[in-house]
């Protein structure tokens, strides 16, 4: 889940790519005005060491056509005005079920 005022701005794609970078093992790379800078700046470049880190992530999958990342977005909002705990719990359970089912399907 991403909650940010930037989710509803011109930076929404950069924000999601930046957060995905964190999920794939990247930290902030401040001062370089690239995708992983601590502040959104319009930069979308990655350093060669960041690419090596991405390629080492267990979430990067290989297939016969090349590389792919399977992403299952759950929720992106500009501002969460009220958190409905049962609804959030249901979404998390559903996400875990889908991930588990897909892994089971790949193994069989």
Residue ranges of the domains in the chain?
2-79
**pLDDT given at position 103:** 64
**pLDDT given at position 43:** 85
Rounded distance, CA 9 to CA 30, Å? 22
Chain-centre distance for alpha carbon 93: 18
Interval 15-74: pLDDT, tens: 888 888 888 899 998 777 889 998 888 888 999 999 999 888 888 877 787 777 766 666
Q: Is 58 left (phi over 0), alpha (psi -120 to 50) or beta?
A: alpha
Claim: this prediction has a pTM higher than 0.75: no
**pLDDT given at position 27:** 92
Q: Using CA of residue 71, residue 82, residue 8, residue 12, what is the dihedral sign?
A: negative
Bridge partners of 89?
none
Per-residue pLDDT, averaged over 92-102, amounts to 71
Rounded distance, CA 2 to CA 74, Å? 9
Rounded distance, CA 56 to CA 96, Å? 23
Instruction: State the pLDDT confidence band at 12, using cuts at 50, 70 and 90.
Output: confident
């Amino acid at each position: 889940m991403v909650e940010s005022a930037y989710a509803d701005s011109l930076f929404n794609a950069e924000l999601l790519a930046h957060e995905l970078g964190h999920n794939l093992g990247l930290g902030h790379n401040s001062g370089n005005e690239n995708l992983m800078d601590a502040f959104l700046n319009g930069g979308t470049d990655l350093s060669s060491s960041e690419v090596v880190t991405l390629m080492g992530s267990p979430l990067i999958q290989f297939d016969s056509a090349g590389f792919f990342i399977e992403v299952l977005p759950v929720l992106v909002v500009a501002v969460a005005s009220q958190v409905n705990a049962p609804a959030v719990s249901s979404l998390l359970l559903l996400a875990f079920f889908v991930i588990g089912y897909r892994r089971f399907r790949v193994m069989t």
